[in-house]
A and B are shown apart, each in its own frame.
Chain A
Amino acid sequence: MDDAAARSTQSFRIETAVGSPRATAVAVLIILLALMLLPTFAGRNLIQDLIFLFYMLALAQCWNLLAGYAGLISVGQQAFVGLGGYLLFALTLIAGLNPLLAILLAGLVSALIALPTALIVFRLRGAYFAIGTWVVAEVYRLVFAQVKPLGGGTGTSLTPSVTSSVPGIEWVKTLLDVRAPAARDIVSYWVALALLAGTLAAVYFILRSRRGLALGAIRDHEAAAAGLGVDIYRIKLAVYVATAAMTGMIGALIYLQKARISPDAAFSVLDWTAYVIFIVVIGGIGTMEGPVIGAIVFYLLQRYLADFGASYLILLGTLGIVIMLFAPRGLWGLVADRYDLTLFPTRRRLIIRDREDG
């Protein structure tokens, strides 16, 4: 095809769209800074709510990358939330490590364990894969229920010496003049913010890289992507391991904040997978914006309706079904269709320019 170059009178180049990179960077920094400074004037309730919102959104971004892009419909991500949580407890209570270091190590170990897990569940396809991941999570739960030093089936709590050993708590106490429990929340809030920002950045840069091109192709038509040279297995494996690492770190943070763990709670399919799927589906699967919208909607529902108990769950289910039926691309899909909006631009545009000498 090289002779075509001589024939064409136009030159082409690629632009991965960000309207004005500098303005975007400034906006992102301002938002981050505002969120970082929020605890100086926000009440403790809001801070706790935001921690919840941040980790649910981070989990949703992970599941969206996994299911929405790589086509790996896992209903067993609670395996890595629970694993991360238990690793935090083991590393701090037994090994005596600093909780922040334990969160990082929890991510690393989750990735290492995800690798052999993937070799098993990747032998399954479609619905079998979904069920397989769930079974794996149950196996993890049963295994941790046998670990006596971590409380076995009834679970255990973090000692006050561990929860107060997170760096920065003393500093926050004196600086903001708050009591120890509030200071702990503020530090957890910052860690949650950092993990969320890290997850968003990681997912965004994956999607902008050449891997993202392949993931978009796999999302739309897996067989066609393979026929064009995309190594489907390798990319899926990479996504599975990377999301396991992120999910493990988020799980560690969740249980640092909760300070109490039990196998049933840590490996709960409802809390760590069903809600997360709900967030992604109502927001819009296969986009980065969808989980953001979904997490906010879920947070508001949870905040104002959770007191209704069973009716609340029935409402969640109904809402999920209605959106799947009438807006299969989620709430973000409704907006994006109308206004051609994007918060996380990953489009590659072809820029055409006439050649001077043409």
Chain B
Amino acid sequence: MLLEVAGLKKSFGSIVVADDLDLVVAPGEAVGIIGPNGAGKTTLFNLIAGGLAPTAGYFRFDGRDFTGVPLQGRCRAGIGRTHQIPQPFEKLTVFENLLVGAVYGRRKTEAAVAQSCGEILERLGLLKRANTLAGSLTLLERKRLEMARALATAPKLLLLDEIAGGLTEGECSELVATIREIRQTGVAILWIEHVVHALLAVIDRLVVLNFGRKIADGVPKQVMQLPEVHQIYMGIEA
């Protein structure tokens, strides 16, 4: 298994945001995560790729215990992530944003990563904006930059946090096509998303979280049929 999460617990005071979570992702697999607001989805990402320390439990990545590994070590080992609210380096150019990820995430020289950064920008449709300041990008472009920057670190596992939110139908299907392309290069994907139809177009397996607990995990179509999932999603998603 590429990623193994076991018995992961996190509470802020009396509020439990991750309760005994188990989750595995195989190399190259695409797993979707859905759940109502406050279900602990982003917290799970922060436990895996952010600086958040779990209250109990552990997670392994690529066969190594990763629970105490600092942020930069997680990235270098191959965990890339995007943020729900894009966090560009605004006074750097789009290309320089990617360079940071490529140079530090992959521990290479700037000259050695220029070609692959250019290719990632081309794939994500940002090539024309390569030498403009990231601060001047539109929201859609910022979301693309988040993904491009994560890809620049050459991840084995890519964590996508609500990347389709706020996009038009056309933009969304473009995004789905891009993510499918990324999958074909062998990158495993763990994707949190409210736009369920976009998710279902890409993933192999679907996990449902509610109040920090995993309530379903399996083949997407079957999971969506489960009565408890229906109940949660009544009024949120058709």
Residues of A within 8 A of B (CB): 1-5, 7-8, 10-14, 16, 210, 213-214, 216-217, 219-221, 223-232, 286, 347-350, 352
- Partner of B89 from the list A3, A217, A350 (CB cut-off 8 Å) is A217
- Partner of A232 from the list B72, B101, B130 (CB cut-off 8 Å) is B72
Taking the nearest CB of chain B, how far is it from the CB of A223, in angstroms? 7
Check if A14 sits within 8 Å of B119, measured CB to CB.
Answer: no
Question: B residues 14-53 with Cβ under 8 Å of A?
Answer: 49-51
- Partner of A347 from the list B51, B71, B90, B96 (CB cut-off 8 Å) is B96
16 new A-B contacts, CB < 8 A, other than A228-B100, A350-B131, are A1-B116, A1-B151, A4-B120, A4-B185, A12-B117, A16-B110, A213-B99, A213-B100, A214-B104, A216-B91, A217-B92, A224-B88, A229-B107, A229-B153, A348-B95, A350-B121
Check if A5 sits within 8 Å of B89, measured CB to CB.
Answer: no
Contacts of A350 in B (CB 8 A): 95, 114, 117-118, 121, 130-131
**Looking across the interface, which residue of chain B has its beta carbon closest to that of A8?**
B119
Contacts of A352 in B (CB 8 A): 118, 127, 130
CA distance A2 to B185 in the complex (A): 8
Contacts of A348 in B (CB 8 A): 93, 95-96, 99, 110
**Looking across the interface, which residue of chain A has its beta carbon closest to that of B101?**
A228
Contacts of B206 in A (CB 8 A): none
- Partner of A216 from the list B87, B92, B114, B121 (CB cut-off 8 Å) is B92
CA distance A7 to B184 in the complex (A): 14
Contacts of B123 in A (CB 8 A): 4
Interface locus among B54-62, B75-83, B168-176, B217-225: B75-83
- Partner of B115 from the list A3, A5, A7, A213 (CB cut-off 8 Å) is A5
Q: B212 near A: Cβ within 8 Å? A: no
Known: A8-B119, A225-B100, A350-B130. A230 touches B95 (CB 8 A): no
Contacts of A10 in B (CB 8 A): 118, 122
Taking the nearest CB of chain A, how far is it from the CB of B15, in angstroms? 22
Q: B103 near A: Cβ within 8 Å? A: yes
CA distance A228 to B111 in the complex (A): 18
Would you mind naming 12 contact pairs between A and B with Cβ atoms under 8 Å apart? Answer: A1-B187, A10-B118, A13-B111, A213-B96, A216-B96, A221-B87, A221-B90, A223-B50, A226-B51, A227-B49, A228-B104, A229-B153
**Looking across the interface, which residue of chain A has its beta carbon closest to that of B131?**
A349
Contacts of A210 in B (CB 8 A): 103-104, 109-110
- Partner of B110 from the list A213, A217, A223, A227 (CB cut-off 8 Å) is A213
Taking the nearest CB of chain B, how far is it from the CB of A196, in angstroms? 25
Check if A220 sits within 8 Å of B153, measured CB to CB.
Answer: no
Taking the nearest CB of chain A, how far is it from the CB of B211, in angstroms? 26
Contacts of B95 in A (CB 8 A): 348-350
Taking the nearest CB of chain A, how far is it from the CB of B30, in angstroms? 16
B: contact size bracket? 35 or more
Residues of B within 8 A of A (CB): 49-51, 70-72, 75-76, 81, 83, 87-93, 95-97, 99-101, 103-107, 109-111, 114-123, 127, 130-131, 149, 151-154, 185, 187
Check if B111 sits within 8 Å of A229, measured CB to CB.
Answer: no
**Shortest 7 CB-CB distances between A and B: which pairs?**
A12-B118, A229-B104, A229-B105, A220-B89, A229-B75, A14-B114, A224-B87
CA distance A5 to B185 in the complex (A): 12
Check if B93 sits within 8 Å of A230, measured CB to CB.
Answer: no
Taking the nearest CB of chain A, how far is it from the CB of B94, in angstroms? 8
Taking the nearest CB of chain B, how far is it from the CB of A277, in angstroms? 20
Contacts of B118 in A (CB 8 A): 8, 10-12, 350, 352
Contacts of A347 in B (CB 8 A): 93, 96, 131
**Looking across the interface, which residue of chain A has its beta carbon closest to that of B150?**
A228
Contacts of B130 in A (CB 8 A): 350, 352
Taking the nearest CB of chain A, how far is it from the CB of B108, in angstroms? 9
Check if B116 sits within 8 Å of A217, measured CB to CB.
Answer: no
Contacts of A14 in B (CB 8 A): 99, 110-111, 114
**Looking across the interface, which residue of chain A has its beta carbon closest to that of B184?**
A3
Taking the nearest CB of chain B, how far is it from the CB of A169, in angstroms? 46
CA distance A192 to B90 in the complex (A): 35
Q: Which of B97, B100, B149, B152 neighbours the largest number of chain A CB atoms within 10 Å of its CB?
A: B100
Contacts of B99 in A (CB 8 A): 14, 213, 348
CA distance A12 to B130 in the complex (A): 11
CA distance A3 to B187 in the complex (A): 13
Q: Which of A4, A16, A217, A228 neighbours the largest number of chain B CB atoms within 10 Å of its CB?
A: A228
- Partner of A12 from the list B87, B89, B106, B114 (CB cut-off 8 Å) is B114
Contacts of A213 in B (CB 8 A): 92, 96, 99-100, 103-104, 110
Check if A230 sits within 8 Å of B104, measured CB to CB.
Answer: yes
Contacts of A224 in B (CB 8 A): 83, 87-89
Check if A3 sits within 8 Å of B185, measured CB to CB.
Answer: yes
CA distance A1 to B156 in the complex (A): 10
**Looking across the interface, which residue of chain B has its beta carbon closest to that of A9?**
B122
